[in-house]
Homo-oligomer: A and B are copies of this chain.
Amino acid sequence: MIQIDRFGRTPIYEQIIDQIQRLIITGVLKAGDQLPSVRTLSQELSINPNTLQKAYSELERSGVCISVPGNGRFVTESAVAVIGESMEEQIEEMKRIGKELCVAGIPIERVLKAIQSAYGKESKV
């Protein structure tokens, strides 16, 4: 369900945040669903409970999930919307890279094709 890359440069807690958000926007996890507990998931992933707690806290801070002490942690109704908003930042990041590629002389057609392939529109025309 969740894969951890221990050798990459991205911190474990960030990887978890990204992957849980992905599970939500892909519909694997839906509003009201319970997230795995800190203890069980940390054991399953062989990571420290505190590391997972850090990821969960951040998800809760941004409004993706809500914790019910003594009960569990659940995906909020607004989770999909919240994550969607964070996608705006991704678009900004795209613009930033786009400007770099522009000054580097990379033709815009190459970039557009890359985007289209990511969207599964190969456009082999």
Contact = CB atoms under 8 A, between A and B. Distances in A.
Interface of A: 22, 25-26, 83-84, 87, 90-91, 93-106, 108, 110-112, 114-121
10 contacts: A22-B103, A87-B104, A90-B101, A94-B97, A94-B114, A98-B114, A98-B115, A108-B116, A111-B119, A112-B112
Contact of A119 (B102, B115, B118): B102
A106 B81 CA distance: 12
A21 to B, nearest CB: 9
Nearest to A118: B98
A91 to B, nearest CB: 5
A102 B118 CA distance: 8
A25 B103 contact: yes
Given A26-B103, A102-B120, A111-B115, 8 more contacts: A25-B103, A25-B104, A84-B104, A94-B94, A98-B114, A98-B119, A99-B118, A111-B119
